[in-house]
Chain A
Amino acid sequence: MHDVCAVFFTAIGLLVGLDRELVAIVTLSLRVSLAAVGLAALLGLPLGAAVAVWRFPGQAAVGVLLNAMMGLPPVVVGLTVYLLLSRAGPLGELGLLFTPTAMVLAQCVLVTPIIAAFTRQTIADLYAEYAEQLRSLGVGPGRAIWTLLWDGRFSLLTGILAGFGRASAEVGAVLIVGGNIHRVTRVMTTTIALETSKGNLALALALGVILMFLVLVVNAAAMVIQDIAKRLYG
C-alpha cells in the first residue's frame, strides 16, 4: 500500500513540478506516436477502403492478411526497420537510424495494418448500405472510396485511436530503431523500461501512470468529438 501511494505521489510530483526532462520525454513520445498515426492513417484509410470496395481476385486473402498483420510483434518490426536503415541497409544512406524519424517509421509499420483492417471492416459495412445507390448515381469505385471514407469519418476515428494506443504503448520497435538515447530518442515507454531495469520501480510506475493518463485524455477527446458528430450528423 505504501508503495502504491509512493508511486502516485511521485507521478503527481512529476506532473506538478513539470520536470523539464519529463516534459521533453512526454513531448517526444506524443510527437513520434502522433506522427506515426498520422502517416499510418494516410496510408491505412485509403488502403482499407480500397480493399473493401474494389472487387479483385484475392480480396478476401488480403483482408485476412491485414487482420493478421495487426498482431505484428513490435520487436520484429523494429529489427526489420533497423536492418533497412542501418549503414549497410538499403536506406542506410539516409542516416535515419537512432533518430525520431526512424521511430516514426517503425511505429507507422505497426499501426498501418490496424487502421487498414479497421477501415476495411467499417467501409465494407457502409458499402453494403451504399452500393446500390452509388451504382445508380454512376459513381465508380475510385470516387466511392472517398465518399465512404468521408461518410464513415467518425466511425473510422475508433480505428485511428486503436492505432494510437498501439503506437504509444509499444516499446520494442522504438527501442531498437531509436536506441533510447538520452534527450534524443528517449520516450515514455523506453524510459519506463530503463528505469525498471535500474530498479527505480516507483519512478517507472509513475511514468506509466502519466502515459496512461495521456492515452486516456486523447481517447476522451476523440469520444467527445464522435458524440457531438453523431448528434449533429445522425
Chain B
Amino acid sequence: MLSAKPSVCTEVRPTILPLTVHQLSFEAGGKRLLDSISFQTDVGPRTVVLGPNGAGKSLLLRLCHGLLQPSAGAITWAGVDAQTAGRCQAMVLQRPVLLRRSAVANVRYVLRTRGVPRRQRRAMVTAALEQAGLLHLAQRSARVLSGGEQQRLALARAWALKPQVLFLDEPTASLDPAATRAVETLLQEIHQAGTKIIMTTHDLGQARRLADEVLFLHRGRLVEHAPASAFFLAPRSPEAAAFLEGRLLWC
C-alpha cells in the first residue's frame, strides 16, 4: 500500500479540484486545433481522454497542466491560481524524459526542486521506488533501464511529489503488454491513494480497463463527456460509436 507521507503539495486548500475548463480553444499556425471545449471534472473518477490520433488529446492535457497557454477560454482550479495549482500536479509524458543520473537521483531531484527538506527526502524516495517495484534498480542509471522500467520510474517520480492531480499522456503507448500491465497496476494504486488521474489514450482496451469517465475528442472538439459505463455501452455521438466499433475516423 501507499504510505501516507506528508503531501509535497502543501497548500492550505484541501484540494485544487474541481477542474473547470470553459470555452477552451487553442490555435497554432493559423489552425484551430482545439475548439471551444468545456467540461468539469472533480475528485474521484479516473478521467480518460479518448479519441483518434490528432484529435487534440495531448494538447488538452498540456493546456490543463499549464505547459501551453490557451488562445481563448479559461482553465480554473477551484479558485487557486495556475501557479499554486501547478505545484499540486504532475505529468508523465508518453516518452519519459529521465535525467542522465541514477533512478534514485531522478526521484531525489524532483523532491529537491519542490523544496522538500533533505531529511524527509530519503524515506519519500525509497517509498516511491518501492511502490513502482524499482528499489532493486535504484542505483542503476535511468537511461539504461528498459522502456517499461523507465515509464515506471517516471511514474514513481511523479508520485513522489504526492500530486493531487496526475496527468498522463499515452503512458503505455510504446510498451509491451507486460510493461503496460505493470504501469496500469501502478496507476490503479495511485488512484486508490486518492490522486486524481487524467490520462489520454487511443487504446480502447486500456480505456475500458481504467476509465471511470470519458472525454471523447474528435477533430479538436469535445464530442462526448460521459461516465465510462454509459459511454462504452451506448455512445451518444456517431463519431464515438464509429470509434468504438473500430471504424477508421478521419481526423
B86 touches A138 (CB 8 A): yes
Alpha-carbon distance between A70 and B193 when the two chains are bound, in angstroms:
55
Bound form: Cα–Cα A133–B141 in Å: 18
Q: How many pairs of residues, A versus B, come closer than 8 Å at their CB atoms?
A: 43
| Chain A binding surface SS class | helix
Q: Does B72 interact with chain A (Cβ within 8 Å)?
A: no
Complex interface residues of chain A between 116 and 160 (CB less than 8 A to chain B):
129-130, 132-133, 135-139, 143, 147, 150-152
Inter-chain contacts of A150 with B (CB < 8 A):
101
Contacts of A224 in B (CB 8 A): none
**Is A233 located at the chain interface by the 8 A CB criterion?**
yes
Closest residue of chain A to B109 (Cβ to Cβ) is: A147
Binds A, one of B32-40, B89-97, B234-242: B89-97
Chain B residues with CB below 8 A from A139, complex form: 113
Nearest Cβ in chain B — how far from A38, in angstroms? Answer: 23
With A232-B141, A233-B143 as given contacts, are A132 and B93 in contact (CB-CB < 8 Å)?
Answer: yes
B110 at the interface (CB under 8 A from A): yes
User: Which residues in B have their C-beta under 8 angstroms from that of A129?
Assistant: 97
Query: What 0/1 pattern do residues 86 to 114 of B give for CB contact below 8 A with A?
Result: 11001101001101110000000110011
Which residues from chain B sit less than 8 Å from chain A, CB to CB? 62, 65, 67, 86-87, 90-91, 93, 96-97, 99-101, 109-110, 113-114, 141-144
- Ordered by A's residue number, 18 sampled pairs between the chains whose C-beta atoms are within 8 Å are A130-B97, A132-B62, A132-B93, A133-B93, A133-B97, A135-B67, A136-B65, A136-B67, A136-B90, A137-B110, A138-B86, A139-B113, A143-B113, A151-B101, A232-B141, A234-B141, A234-B142, A234-B143
Closest 9 CB pairs of A and B: A234-B143, A133-B97, A234-B144, A151-B100, A233-B141, A136-B91, A234-B141, A233-B100, A139-B113
